[in-house]
Each structure stands twice: as C-alpha cells, then as structure tokens.
Amino acid sequence: MSSKFKRSRISLAGIPCLKEAPKQAGGELVSPGMWILLNLYRNVFAKFSMMPFSFDSSERMIHVDRLTRMNRLVSKCWAALGLLHSLICFYLLRNMISSSKIENDDILDILRPVACMYLGLLPLTMMGMSYTISFCPQVAPSIVNCIPKLEKKFSDLDNTLCRRRTRKVSNPHLETLIYIGIYATPIAMMVLVPSTVMLNLDPLSIWFSTTCEDCITETVTFYAARILILTLLGVEILKSGIAFLIVGMIVMLAASEGTNNLDNNIKSGPVSKLGILRLYQELQVWNQHTNILFCYKAIPPLLFFGLVIVIVANYATIKLFGVLPDIIYPVAPASSGGAAILFMTLLPQAAKTHENSSRFLGRVKNHVIGKYERKVGNSLRPIGARCGPFGIIRNEWRIAPLMKIDPKQYNIYSSDRYFETMKTSDRRFASTKEIRNWKNYKFLPLLNKNTKDKMSSKFQRSAMFLAGIRSLMAKKEAGELVSPGMWTILNLYRNVFAKFSMMPFSFDLSERVIHVDRLTRGKRFVSKCWSVLGPIHSLFCFYLLSNMLSRRKFKSDDVLTVLRPVACMYLGLIPLALTGMSYTISFCPQVAPMIVNCIPKLEKKIMAGIENLSLRNLLKSCVSIYKFEVAGRDGSSN
C-alpha cells in the first residue's frame, strides 16, 4: 500500500514531494508524516489557488512568499467571497421561506432551500482559517516555526537526563486518510459543482436564470459564471479545511507530546527541575501566542457552524437516501464523514493537551524541592486550545455545570461509602426498642430529618418505604427488593445494545452493580451527538408537518398521502418522549449507578433485619416510622 502511495506521489507531474520522512529525533514532538503532508498540501493547492507560503521540508519551516499587489488583492477577495456568498444564501433562503408555498411536487424544488442553507453555512465554518491565510499570512510561520526549536530543546533535555523516548507519535491511519483527501477532494469537487449547477440546486440559479432557449450564448455564459463562482468557493473551503486539519494536528501534537515528555522527565532522579519548568514556561508562552493569534477567532465558528452542518448532513444521509439523484446524494455522507474526521481528531487532541498539562502541574508540587522552583511552579498554568470566550477545550468542557452534584443535598448518593461508614450499632437490629427509636433506625436511610431537598425526600422516602413494606410482608428470601430476573434482563439489555450503540455502562451480574466505563473522547462526543439527534429530528418533523397542514387539502384518495402527516407527527413525538432518558444516558452517565447501586446495599440491611427480628416486630417498627412521617409532615406545614 505504501509503495503505491510513493509511486503516485513521485509520478504526479509538477509537484515536488518528499520521498522519505526525515530521521526520527529523540525529542520529536510531531510525526514526520505530518510534515510530509503539510509540504504535499502546499504544493498541490498552490497549483490552482493563492498560497502565500512556501515550505522548507529539510528545516521544517514555513516562509511567507512575497506576492504581488494583484495576487494579494485576489487572495483577499477570494477569502471574502465565502462570507459574501453566505449572506446571499441566507437572503435567498429568507425569501424562499416567506414566499408562497411550493406547488410543484418536484423533489429538487423542495431541496433548494436545504441546499441554500447548506451552502450558506459551509463557508462560515472555515471563515477563521480562510481569513488567517489571506489577510494574516504571517500567523502560520510564527506558530509552526517554533516547533523545530522546541523539539531541539526537548532533545537536549532528554540527553541531559539520559532519557530516550521510545513512544511513537505517528498515526499512520490518519496520515493515509489525509493523503487520500488531498487528492480526492479536488476531483470530487470538479464532478459535484457542474452537477449541482445543471440541476439548478445552487443559490445563484435564482439570479442567473438559464431557461432562455433562444439565447444560447447567454445560457452558456450564465452556466459558466455559476460553475466558476461555485468552484472558487469550493476551492477556498477545501483549502481552509485541510489546512485546519493538518496545521491543527501539528500544533496540538506538539503541545500534548511536549507536556507528556515533561511529565515523564520530572519523575526522574533528584536533579534540578528548573530546566523542565523553564521549558514548560516557553511552551506556555507559545500556547498563549497561538490562542491569541489563531484559536480565539478560528475555533468558535468551526465548532458552532460545523455541528449544525453535521446534524443537517446526518439527517440528509438517512432521510434522503434513494430520493436525491445518485450524483448529488454522496455530498451528505461525505460532509458528515469529513466533519467527523475534523472533530474526532482535533477535539480529542486539544483535550489531551489540557489533560497532560494539568497532570504535569500536579506532579510539580510533589517532585519540586527548592524554594525558587516552587515559586516558578506555582506561576505555571495549564495550556490548551482556547475556544474564544468559552474557555479552554478539555475533557468535561461545556457539560461540567450539568454534572455537578452538591454532596450536602444528596449525601446518600454522593458517597459510595455511606453504608460502610455507619456505626456497628446502626448496622444491627439489637432490640425492638432500638427499632422503634427513629434516630437509631437505619432501615430506610433516606428517612433522616436532616434531609434538605424536599422534592427528593418525598420521592425517595415514599419509594423506599413502600419497597421495604412489600418486602417484609412477602417474606422474600434474603431480603430481596428486586427480582433476579430483572437483573438478568438489565444485563442482557446492556450486552445487546452495546453491539450497535454507545453504552457508557458495564454491569456486574454477580454483584448487581453498574459501573461507568471510561469511553474515549471520540466515543463520548459521538454519544452526545447521537442524543441530540432526536430533538433535531423532531424539529424537522414539526416543521414539515406545519408545511403539510398549511397547504390546501389533498385531492388524491391515496391512503399513503393521507397518512404522511400522521407519520410525521408520530416520528416527531417519539424522540421527545424519550429525551430525558436519552440525555441522562449520554450526558449524565453517573446517574444510573448512583441510583441502582444503592439497592443491593439496602437488601443487605433488610436481610439483617429479617434475621434478627420477627415479622411482627418489624411491622410495629414500620408503623412507628409512619407515625413519625405524619408528625414530620404536620410540623413542616405548621
């Protein structure tokens, strides 16, 4: 496979390429294959677009080329074309929505608003990278050219500490995928752009009408103008998207591998750690420089508009299969796959950078001895890619407030050691008097008068109280509150649905305990997007249902035509009915273990009570608890 890639790379006319990767160094932060891809990207896209850079593969340095005034003007106008095209698309989309309803049943007429929205969002996604390449070409060299210097310093540090890294930083699968994308995306664009124009799916078909049969010259001219504008737009989007992927991976790999290397070096022998701290300071300054010049303005539009495109593309991939023409349908899955590659590589790597730096700063406090070194260590801060004013991208980014639980309000669930830390006198039921005294009674731990949350106390106390009464009256074996068959069904459910969906749980059938699995960042992101797909689908269904109901009544007696609004309403209501459970599984996976894992512990308490007391005494104790509950309710009302 690699020989084919090398032959095709060398045989490509007019494009100089590296035949072999540079030799691996000891302090290597970035894979040599990524530098090869950066050189290949520049040489390929310089053939049919304005690239104000040149790349020195031997030194791994980016240089800004001195363009003429005309070339600089063309490059800036090319970048501004995307924003102008998006404004035109949204203006036309507004007119389409506010105009009269579509009377024709042609599928292409129905899809024109969707295509207009898609082509309006796509340039906005890469707006930050396109602006940086055309208007601020000096940003890329100022960021990337620091990496070889950092690699040299890391190599000197490894030689000083007599350490040699054996970890490989390359990702051959990702590099092969990017290599194929550099060649495949321009070819796919050359096929899709004329097809889109011929089907009149581009937004400019409204202004540049080509329906005049007598004016052949005018028709050809308008077709050529529309194809040219859409081609220029596609080239700019591809250039910015692939540059975002390659340069972003190079920068994030350098930051994450650098912090990981420092974390390994600080655990070395009793030598001075000041050199390691100084090197981290340089890495921190370089990261702040990168965030200010690039990440702060380029990442927010990529995430916001990119997620919208992913949702729309996934919806079109599923719902429009067999409806769109065969030459246009691959745009939806290709857009979804490209966005997934971009998100599933850059976001986990950015989160890994913050995680490695936080772990390094945690070790600094334990391994630094000198007073001055401690002061330097206290001045260091975690690094990572900053998404504008929303903060640094990290593992629990954007969902940390939802996952925070106050341990004072939920003391029974916030600590798994609640039952283990109880006193021995509370664990056993020594006598009937001890049972009747509610202060010492731990049969139902949620009946504590110190519980502050009224809603949870009502809910939990009533459920647990009824479960305990039913267990005592039925004299279940070993104090069971739940049938063993239900645990078996729970285990079967987890094993079956884990085959074709994201399940963040594992179930121990012997202990009857649910554990939260440690999913990768990519899988967690896919699980959350999967959960959000339901409400988005419901919104689409209700939007289409409103269009169906606002039209005139159906003249056809076909039963399928009559049932389509009912099916649309049905498919829109089902995801909303299960939105709560879907959100809990994907965004709050710790909730299920926190609730279910208390049941076996309660069963052990009930079993101890059944062994030591008769059923009659237990019923008397339950009556006394009920009286206390009534008295507490009366006191709270007063």
Q: For residue 356, which of 397, 384, 385 has the smallest C-alpha distance?
A: 384
Other CB atoms closer than 10 Å to residue 43's CB: what's the count?
19
Other CB atoms closer than 10 Å to residue 411's CB: what's the count?
17
Q: For residue 309, which of 121, 443, 461 has the smallest C-alpha distance?
A: 121
The two three-digit tokens of residue 98, written as one number: 């506010």
The yes-or-no verdict on residue 536 having pLDDT over 80 is: yes
User: Are 387 and 416 in the same domain?
Assistant: no
The yes-or-no verdict on residue 239 having pLDDT over 90 is: yes
User: Are 411 and 382 in the same domain?
Assistant: no
Number of domains in the chain: 2
- Separation CA 279–CA 564 (nearest Å): 65
- Separation CA 39–CA 48 (nearest Å): 16
Q: What pLDDT, on the 0 to 100 scale, is given for residue 285? A: 92
Contacts for 292 with CB less than 8 Å, ≥ 6 apart: none
User: Are 345 and 468 in the same domain?
Assistant: no
The top-scoring range by mean pLDDT among 40-49, 273-282, 424-433 is 40-49
User: Are 521 and 591 in the same domain?
Assistant: yes
Contact call for residues 580 and 418 (beta carbons, < 8 A): no
Contact call for residues 404 and 307 (beta carbons, < 8 A): no
Domain end point (choices 372, 391, 410): 391
User: Are 316 and 461 in the same domain?
Assistant: no
User: Are 387 and 413 in the same domain?
Assistant: no
User: Between vectors from CA 76 to CA 73 and to CA 79, what angle results, nearest 5°?
Assistant: 150
User: Between vectors from CA 34 to CA 28 and to CA 37, what angle results, nearest 5°?
Assistant: 150
Mean pLDDT of 99-126: 78
Q: What pLDDT, on the 0 to 100 scale, is given for residue 620? A: 61
8-state DSSP, 578: T
- Average pLDDT for the chain: 75
**What are the tens digits of pLDDT across the range 472-482?**
444 444 457 78
The top-scoring range by mean pLDDT among 94-103, 215-224, 464-473 is 215-224
The two three-digit tokens of residue 383, written as one number: 């690094």
Q: What pLDDT, on the 0 to 100 scale, is given for residue 235? A: 92
* Three-state DSSP class for residue 371: helix
User: Between vectors from CA 143 to CA 137 and to CA 149, what angle results, nearest 5°?
Assistant: 135
The yes-or-no verdict on residue 429 having pLDDT over 60 is: no
Q: What pLDDT, on the 0 to 100 scale, is given for residue 314? A: 86
The yes-or-no verdict on residue 638 having pLDDT over 50 is: no
Q: What pLDDT, on the 0 to 100 scale, is given for residue 8? A: 42
Other CB atoms closer than 10 Å to residue 595's CB: what's the count?
12
The two three-digit tokens of residue 154, written as one number: 């890391």
User: Are 383 and 516 in the same domain?
Assistant: no
Element (H, E) at 515: strand 513-516
- Separation CA 80–CA 86 (nearest Å): 10
Q: What pLDDT, on the 0 to 100 scale, is given for residue 570? A: 84
Q: How confident is the model at residue 344 (pLDDT cuts 50, 70, 90)?
A: confident
3-state helix, strand, coil in the chain (%, to 5): 70, 5, 30
Q: For residue 435, which of 180, 269, 621, 588 has the smallest C-alpha distance?
A: 621
Q: How confident is the model at residue 618 (pLDDT cuts 50, 70, 90)?
A: low
User: Between vectors from CA 204 to CA 85 and to CA 123, what angle results, nearest 5°?
Assistant: 25
Q: What pLDDT, on the 0 to 100 scale, is given for residue 5? A: 38
Mean pLDDT of 201-205: 81
**What are the tens digits of pLDDT across the range 362-410?**
888 777 767 787 888 888 888 988 887 777 887 765 343 333 333 333 3
Q: What pLDDT, on the 0 to 100 scale, is given for residue 557? A: 60
Q: How confident is the model at residue 634 (pLDDT cuts 50, 70, 90)?
A: low
Least confident of 38-47, 175-184, 414-423: 414-423
Q: What's phi and psi for 152, nearest 5 deg? A: -65, -40
- Separation CA 455–CA 444 (nearest Å): 17
Q: What pLDDT, on the 0 to 100 scale, is given for residue 144? A: 93
Taking the complete model, does pTM exceed 0.85, yes or no? no
Q: How confident is the model at residue 452 (pLDDT cuts 50, 70, 90)?
A: very low
Please report how the helices 216-265 and 69-98 are oriented relative to each other, as an axis angle in degrees rounded to 10.
110
Domain end point (choices 391, 415, 432): 391
Contacts for 408 with CB less than 8 Å, ≥ 6 apart: 452
Contact call for residues 625 and 444 (beta carbons, < 8 A): yes
Least confident of 20-34, 389-403, 460-474: 460-474
Counts for the chain of helices (H) and strands (E), in that order: 25, 4
- Separation CA 196–CA 115 (nearest Å): 10
Mean pLDDT of 525-539: 87
Q: Give the type of residue at 115.
A: A
Contact call for residues 345 and 249 (beta carbons, < 8 A): yes
Q: What pLDDT, on the 0 to 100 scale, is given for residue 212? A: 55
Contact call for residues 249 and 24 (beta carbons, < 8 A): no
Q: How confident is the model at residue 238 (pLDDT cuts 50, 70, 90)?
A: very high
User: Are 372 and 518 in the same domain?
Assistant: no
User: Are 479 and 386 in the same domain?
Assistant: no
- Separation CA 620–CA 16 (nearest Å): 90
User: Are 324 and 359 in the same domain?
Assistant: yes
- Separation CA 107–CA 200 (nearest Å): 12
User: Are 67 and 120 in the same domain?
Assistant: yes
Domain that holds residue 428: 399-638
Beta bridge partners of 107: none
**What are the tens digits of pLDDT across the range 492-501?**
888 888 888 8
Domain end point (choices 391, 407, 425): 391
Q: What pLDDT, on the 0 to 100 scale, is given for residue 44? A: 92
Contact call for residues 325 and 201 (beta carbons, < 8 A): no
Please report how the helices 274-290 and 146-160 are oriented relative to each other, as an axis angle in degrees rounded to 10.
170
Contact call for residues 75 and 49 (beta carbons, < 8 A): no
**What are the tens digits of pLDDT across the range 288-297?**
999 998 988 8
Q: For residue 231, which of 205, 208, 199, 202 has the smallest C-alpha distance?
A: 202
User: Between 394 and 542, where is the model more confident?
Assistant: 542
Contacts for 319 with CB less than 8 Å, ≥ 6 apart: none
8-state DSSP, 554: P
User: Are 420 and 346 in the same domain?
Assistant: no
User: Between 380 and 325, where is the model more confident?
Assistant: 380
Mean pLDDT of 577-601: 86
